[in-house]
Each structure stands twice: as C-alpha cells, then as structure tokens.
Structure 1
Amino acid sequence: MTLIVGLGNPTQTYANTRHNIGFMVIDALVGDHAVTSVSKPQFKGELFKSSQTLFLKPHTYMNLSGESVRAVCDYFKPDLVVVIHDDLDLDLGVVRFKTGGGHGGHNGLKSIDQHIGSAYFRMRLGIGKPAQKSAVVSYVLQGFKAEELPCLKQVISHGASAMVALQKSSPEEVTAAFTCKKGVCAP
C-alpha cells in the first residue's frame, strides 16, 4: 500500500495559497479516482482510499502534519510514503523528486521527520520565493497571482500524473520521467 500525503493548511482561508499546493494535487487525484472516504478521528485529516493507495490531507495545520501522517502510518502500515509539498527554493513550474534528506526549514516536513523519520519519497513543487527573506511566511500564505494560474494548473496536472504513474512503477522511474528542472511551463 502507498500513502500519498499532500501538505497544506485546512479551512477555506488557505485553500488557494502557495503553501497548499500539496492539497491541490491530492484534490486532483481524488477527483480523478474512484475513492472512498476513510473517516477516523485519530487520522486528523481527510483520508481517501483507492485500491492500494491512500490519499491524505492532514488537517493539523502545516506545522503539525506529522501527527496525521503518523496516525495513518500506524493504522495502515504503508510500504511507501510520498509527501507532496511546496518548495521555496524552486521556481514555479519546477518539479523535483527525492527520497530522504533534510527538511530545508519547511515546518510540515520537519513535523513529519519527527514522527516517522525522513526516509520518505518527496515530490517538491516549486512556488518561487519572495524578494525579501523576511517575507517568507506571508509569501507562502498568499494566493497565486492571476498570471501564475495557467502554470499552476499545469503543475497540478503534472504532479497528479506522476502519482498515477507511481502506482504502476518505482520512485526511481517516476523521478526519471517526471522531473522538470526548467519547469512544466517552460517554452
């Protein structure tokens, strides 16, 4: 069984923010699959199941995402955990993958690392970075600009396609086939 986790913050306030790009990919996946909702309070999030794949949107807010991931892992014992998250160090449209590594200051990853370790597979979705380093918090919690929306749509579709491919192949094959160093929106 594979657990695919999209990181974000719950409530409509954060729905279309940069920090919620992981939730956006999960929404696309759930919308394209025949899924059933798996509701247990200890999961602290929205969990959907399709055959041998679980899709999770933690509702603990970003900084406590590991609590939700740990609860689902303890219950289902997945063979593979995939975390889809925003990455400030990559431009919008850039998609990269890796297994393990540090959290790079990302509080959602930091929480997951504390609860299940860092040896999970990651899809890193670039969101760009603010002009001033001191503006990071406000930047990740703001919506995408109107001119970024066509690229965002392509990134979400690309990310969802990568996760569909992962259900039939290995993380290494997905990394080779779906990594976009120049961005999915590059000419």
Structure 2
Amino acid sequence: MAGDLPGGAPVDGAWLVVGLGNPGPDYATTRHNVGAMALDVLGGRVGGRFGAHRRGRADVLEGRIGGPGGPRAVLAKPRSYMNESGGPVASLQQAFKIGPERIVVVHDELDLPFGALRLKLGGGDNGHNGLKSLRRSLGTGDYLRVRLGIGRPPGRQDPADFVLKPFSSPERKELDVFLERAADAVEELVTLGLERAQSSFND
C-alpha cells in the first residue's frame, strides 16, 4: 500500500462507502434508513446517479469524494433487506478489490441520541442486524463506521418497531442538517483520516 496520511487514510486507492437501509418506498423515510439517506446526500455532492451494479445487488455511484481531486470512491446502497446487507457489500468488495480498511459503513445507532454522530474503527454489532450480516459476509468487523444517532424508543416500544417508523415531526425539521453533517463526516474521514474526522465530528 502507498503511504498514509495522518490518521490512517490511504493516499491512493478506492474506497467503498456503504449506506445501510431497507429497499423500497415503504422504508425510505424510516429511522433504519438514515444511512442510505446520508448516501443520497453524499451522492448529490459526488454527482451522477445511482445505478444497479451487475454483481453486487446494490445501487452504486462511482466518483470522487470532496471534489475533482479527491479520493476515488464507490458509493453503495444494498438492495437487500438490512439483515442481508453483508452479501451485496462482500460482492462489491471483491468486484472492486477494496480491503476492509477502506470500507466505510454509515448506519443508524440506537445508543446515540437523535442528531448525534460518532466515527470509529471496528467494534461490536450492538444488536444491529445490518452490522451482524456484514461481519458474517466480510469475515471481520474491522471497517470504519459512521454511526448516526436515532435515539432509543419511548416507553416500552420494541426497538425493532421503532427503527421501522418514520422520524417524528420535530426530528424531520432537523433531519436535513443532520444528513449534511453525516456527508461532511464521510468526506473528512476519507480525505483526512479517522483521527482528524473524530476530532471534528465526534460529539
């Protein structure tokens, strides 16, 4: 591998940036899809349109992060359900020959309040079915993560039901700003490295 920037970001080579969610209009605006929503914002900055990949069971967009001179990246939204996300991601990893150290997964996080954002490398799956599937298919959990807080369900509501509900009216008023910040975090992560991005975005 070529030399690294401070914080561990490779100087060259492509990145695979994955936004987790469930496919279809019924799930498009639910809390569980906030990772895929952030990828849409990032895709708008990269330019072009997501299209179906022939091997990966995912919608992909190839471009450069952070502008014309930025790192090359494959943005991906699996077309499978959340608990089967690992298969499409592993197929894309193999197709584009991208190591786990250059995979960034953007996903919802129950243990962070709505609007909070954290970046980290590796860690457990914390009951998240998408992350469990990724670990099974990739054979590792040592990829970069952008964790987007959606908060805990109120009262005794089942978390499995909560994540499949749309954001509340107050949350929707702040959602666009939250997604733009998530896209900013991905850009800084792949251009400046994990440590720099953590110092800027970890609340």
Q: How does the TM-score come out when normalised to structure 2?
A: 0.84
Q: Which has the higher helix share?
A: 1
Q: Which runs of 5+ in 2 are unaligned?
A: 1-13, 65-71
1:76 paired with 2:99, answer no
Deviations 1:73-119 (A, max 9, x none): 01112240000000111100110111111100000000001111100
Deviations 1:30-51 (A, max 9, x none): 1111246564332111011004
Secondary structure of residue in 1 paired with 2:17: strand
1:145 paired with 2:165, answer no
In structure 1, C-alpha distance between the alignment counterparts of 2:77 and 2:57, rounded to whole Å: 9
Q: Counterpart of 1:22?
A: 35
In structure 2, C-alpha distance between the alignment counterparts of 1:89 and 1:24, rounded to whole Å: 19
How far residue 166 of structure 1 moved from its aligned partner, in angstroms, is 2.5
Q: Is the 8 A contact 1:36 1:50 kept in 2?
A: no
In structure 1, C-alpha distance between the alignment counterparts of 2:22 and 2:86, rounded to whole Å: 13
In structure 2, C-alpha distance between the alignment counterparts of 1:111 and 1:74, rounded to whole Å: 16
The equivalent position to 2:192 in structure 1, one of 128, 147, 169, is 169
Give runs of ≥4 in structure 1 deviating > 6 Å.
none
Secondary structure of residue in 2 paired with 1:42: coil
Q: How does the TM-score come out when normalised to structure 1?
A: 0.91
1:85 paired with 2:107, answer yes
Summarize the Cα distance change of 1:129–1:34 in structure 2 as closer, same or farther, 3 Å threshold: same
Q: Counterpart of 1:183?
A: none
1:130 paired with 2:143, answer no
1:156 paired with 2:179, answer yes
Secondary structure of residue in 2 paired with 1:43: coil
**Counterpart AA for 2:160:** V
Structure 1 stretch 129-138 or stretch 170-179: which is displaced more?
129-138
In structure 2, C-alpha distance between the alignment counterparts of 1:92 and 1:36, rounded to whole Å: 28
How far residue 21 of structure 1 moved from its aligned partner, in angstroms, is 0.2
**Counterpart AA for 1:122:** R
In structure 2, C-alpha distance between the alignment counterparts of 1:176 and 1:18, rounded to whole Å: 26
How far residue 23 of structure 1 moved from its aligned partner, in angstroms, is 0.5
In structure 1, C-alpha distance between the alignment counterparts of 2:83 and 2:202, rounded to whole Å: 27
Identity %: 37
How far residue 20 of structure 1 moved from its aligned partner, in angstroms, is 0.2
How far residue 22 of structure 1 moved from its aligned partner, in angstroms, is 0.3
Q: Counterpart of 1:67?
A: 87
1:57 paired with 2:77, answer yes
The equivalent position to 1:112 in structure 2, one of 131, 134, 159, is 134
Q: Is the 8 A contact 1:92 1:152 kept in 2?
A: no
Q: Which runs of 5+ in 1 are unaligned?
A: 181-187
In structure 1, C-alpha distance between the alignment counterparts of 2:54 and 2:156, rounded to whole Å: 37
Q: Is the 8 A contact 1:94 1:126 kept in 2?
A: yes
